[in-house]
Amino acid sequence: MHASGNAIYSSGYLLFTQNGDLLAQRFDLGGLKLVGESERLQQKVFYDAGIWRNLFSASETGLLLYAAASADLAGKVRWVSHTGQNLSTFSEDGLANPRLSPDGRKIALEKGDPSSDIWVYDVAGPVRTQLTATAWSYSPVWSPDGREILFATIGGATANNALATLMIAPLNNAEAAKTISPSPIYQSPTDWSRDGKYILYEKGAPGSSEIWAIEIRPGGKEFPLSSLRLGRAMAAFHPTASGSPMPPTSPARTKCTWRRFLGPGQNCRSPPLEAPRLVGAETGASCTSTAEATKSWPSLSPARVAKCKWEAHAGSSQ
């Protein structure tokens, strides 16, 4: 059975979503199998991408509770200054995960709720170009030269195709997209190395994902950068160094880890950093001083960096 969100059991039925619609199908608890055909209960139930769940619940009395998808709940994209001041807001709803092109002239983003496509917007004008139009496409990442876009897609020709596939498409021509890494496990690209040779991506369920990399060449190998499922996420290559920093998704609970990137077959066995580092308890930034933290993470204000409580951190080989 293919589903695009969470599922629950209630009153003899399995409730689940496909393409944003809430469906119900009889479920045999004794035989642990579906019975008959599914029926649509409601169209366009709200999908919360932050928790990977469609918002619905049901009681054993047959009462159904759900949040309908609407423009009021759709994501918005805003321009903000480095201090967090709101400068402007895109008028369209249902936009998510914006990525600026290397030259700063275009934005690649997800558009659509709950099943998104990849669109490319011009920063200085009204031009809007739809790059993908089939399946569920998400997590756009620009190539270093800005001529291609890396993204992930789930689905395709049939509704039962649940493969999560990494794709690379020339700008404005998704028909010429090439497959990089198909997988039955959820995966999402996060960065593309500045030399164009490697891609970083998450693999696994949210909260227990691993960081992987793959070589972009015929027969290129994919290999893990983290050997344990510890909720590692949003890996990125340092703009000027041969390492891969892993920024936190929530600075209050997780820390940023810096490690060397040596290529396939070496990362899980690489030694820790030669000298102890310092980790800012507030920001998660791994640096040797507040000055280095301000330089390495320009989005953090000097005042905020100065308030960090520093603790010794010797690095990690994972």
User: Looking at residue 265, what is its pLDDT?
Assistant: 57
pLDDT in tens, 158-181: 444 567 899 999 997 878 889 888
With contact defined as beta carbons under 8 Å apart, do 308 and 286 qualify?
Answer: no
| Interior angle at CA 68, CA 66 and CA 74, nearest 5 | 130
Would the pLDDT of 155 be above 50?
Answer: yes
Instruction: Give residue-wise pLDDT tens across range 286-310.
Output: 455 555 555 555 555 555 555 544 4
pLDDT at 85: 84
Confidence (pTM): 0.63
Q: What is the mean pLDDT of residues 61-79?
A: 77
pLDDT band for position 151 (cuts 50, 70, 90)? very high
* Beta sheet of 277-280, edge-to-edge order: 286-287, 277-280, 310-313
Domain ranges (residues) in the chain: 7-71, 74-180
Domain 74-180 - what CATH class?
mainly beta
Among 47-61, 206-220, 242-256, the minimum mean pLDDT is found in 242-256
Confidence of residue 89 (pLDDT cuts 50, 70, 90): confident
